[in-house]
Amino acid sequence: MRFNLVGFLVGTFLIQYESSFSQSQDSILIAKLNFKALQQYLGTPDSSIALSTKALALAEQKGSIKQQAFSYYVLSKANWAKGNYQLSTKYAFKSLKIYENSSQIYHWGECLIALGRTFADLKEYSLANQYINKALLLALENKHEKLLAEVMREKSFLLIEEKKYDSAVLCINKGLAIYNKNNDSINISILYGRKGRLLFEQGKLNESKNYITQALLLDSLVKNRRGFGITLYQAGLIEWKLKNTETALYFLNKSLLANKELSNLQNTIKIRALLAEIYQSKNLNTKAIEELEKVSILKDSLYSMEKDVKVQEMEAVYELEEKEHLIRLLEDENLIEKKTAQNQKILLLSISTIMVLLGLLSYLFWRMRGNQLNLNKALATKNQEIELQNEEIQSQSDSLHQINQLKSKILSVISHDLRGPIKNLYMLLEMVTKKIVTPEEFAELSVKLKSNLNVTQRTLENLLNWSMGQMEGIKTEPVSFNINSVIDDVAHLSEEAANHKQLVVKSDSKNPVFVLADINQVHLILRNLFNNAIKFSQRDGEVVITTEIKNQFCFISIQDNGIGMTQAEVDMILNTNEYFTKVGTDQEKGTGLGLLLCKDFIKRNGGEFSISSKLKVGTRVTFSLPLS
């Protein structure tokens, strides 16, 4: 019994799998047929119609509404390419009914464009504008660039028909910008042809000829038979106006052949009418009369077709009114259903009240049983909290140990670095007191001593700020101030040190830039970074300070062409709290405290710190501050 049940389940699964696989294969086949038909509609519209008709039959057989909609759309495009506006309109309306108000924005818009272009060809400019403007609104609301390009392409045709040349040029240029970006040769050739026609109508024959020549080349490359036939006619028209009669006849006969293959009546009428005019000018009256007779026959056929399109349009309007009537009936039925639902709600409310009371009793019993579980969970949570606190205490202990080690290292370095300048000062004063040195020698030694004392002063100032920071004694008080003014002050204070090394200091601090930060801390940051740039610069070099505004921040950069650093040294400065120091190009010494303070103060003021450096080339230090 069990074996039979398992066999039944497995058999059922295999049947469902095979059915699902078969449906998937059918969907792929339909999609391939439609895609191939869409690719061929401009070159071989008859083949396109055959393929999309086959796809439509399969889609209807499988009940695939989406595939049916796409087949209708392709049939509309292919019949339009042949100049069969009756069928083109019929299929476009069918496709629009499915795509309208759906998530398929592009296809929805394309259906509107197809209808707009058909009505434009039929000189129904008011209707054409309605459909194309609906497509334009759809493209803008959904920010759909591809659909917008299609709208610009067909809007340009309508504007040329209405003699609105300036607006047509704007549409053509917008469309070309998008198509050039996407390398869409078919649509580029269409818009080149359109621009050529526009220039022709403005009397700019040579410019028009240039664009028409480019369009012909592209049409032949992409096998756009419809566009090729239209462009050949335009080329013939230009040559006729330029008095090149034989060349005009050559282009017109080629265009006639292309349009006959597509059965495009409108274009064929225009070609034969122009041929009649040319033959008449050459006194070939028999040929001219033959062409005019053919024009008359074609116009009768076109009139019949246009009449059928009008009927199709009225049917679409009637169906729309019928749809609105159905909506009103549904709304009335909805009101009745709402009243019935209200009565049912009252009954449900009574039943719900009883159920809630029963639920409350059940909840009380459940709550009593759950209290014990909650107590156990609370104890477990407390234990976890204690463990987390222990881990946090251990982490703080490790951090304090690291800070103490750092303090010991820094104090050791500072005690060594301070002892030298102070000892030198003491010895110099002793020598002056005992009159061992002359006033001239004292003045010469004072210059060197002053430089050492400046370094000592900065060291003491950095030490004081660092120690206050370790004891959380520093308060950051942001104010709005001009950063370029502070840069100028610091550059002036460091001028003597820069002159000593014969350095050129460059700054772009011309226009005021206001930042929100602690001005004293920013002053210290700039002094330390500027002194480092001077310290590690070669003689006769330069130090460049620049400011840049980006994303609500001001980025200040100090660039030198000094000894530079390795990547390991840069990583140590940026990613650790280890102090780092090197001897300057004039054997200047440091403690490394300055960079630690800079990193701390930049962080306190909401900024970021970065370094880029290359050995023997130079270093660029950058930090950011928020704009006020």
Predicted local distance difference test score (pLDDT) of residue 263 = 65
Name which of 480, 466, 505, 469 is nearest 625 in CA terms: 480
Strands 504-507 and 542-550: parallel
pLDDT of residue 87: 86
Give the Å distances, CA to CA, from 113 to 46, 57, 500, 614: 22, 25, 76, 60
pLDDT tens-digit map of 571-615: 988 887 776 778 888 877 776 778 888 998 999 999 999 999 999
Model pLDDT for residues 153-170, shown as the tens digit of each residue: 889 988 988 889 899 989
Render pLDDT for 232-242 as a digit per residue (tens, 0 to 9): 888 988 889 88
Give the per-residue pLDDT at 421: 62
214-223, 262-271, 401-410 — which one is most confidently predicted on average? Answer: 214-223
pLDDT given at position 412: 47
Residue 15 is predicted with a pLDDT of: 47
Fold of the domain built from segment(s) 479-626: Heat Shock Protein 90 (3.30.565)
- Rounded CA Rg of the chain: 43
Q: What is the pLDDT of residue 112?
A: 92
**Distance, CA of 20 to CA of 254 (rounded, Å):** 51
Q: What's the whole-model pTM score? A: 0.45
Q: What percentage of residues in the chain have a pLDDT greater than 70?
A: 77
Overall average pLDDT of the 520-540 stretch: 90
Q: What's the pLDDT score for residue 69? A: 87
Q: Calculate the alpha carbon distances from 297 to 213, 257, 271, 426 in Å.
A: 32, 18, 14, 120
The region of weakest confidence among 298-307, 415-424, 517-526, 530-539 is 415-424
Q: How confident is the model at residue 413 (pLDDT cuts 50, 70, 90)?
A: very low
Q: What is the pLDDT of residue 606?
A: 94
Confidence band for 375, pLDDT divided at 50, 70 and 90 = confident
Give pLDDT, residue 268.
82
Indicate if the pLDDT at residue 291 is higher than 90. no
3-state secondary structure at position 102: coil
Please give the structure tokens belonging to residue 442: 């004292």
pLDDT at 419: 55
State residue 401's pLDDT score.
Answer: 59
* Predicted pLDDT of residue 478: 94
What confidence tier does 142 reach under pLDDT thresholds 50, 70, 90? very high
Domain map of the chain by residue range? 479-626
Q: Which of 127-131, 145-149, 269-273 has the lowest mean pLDDT?
A: 269-273
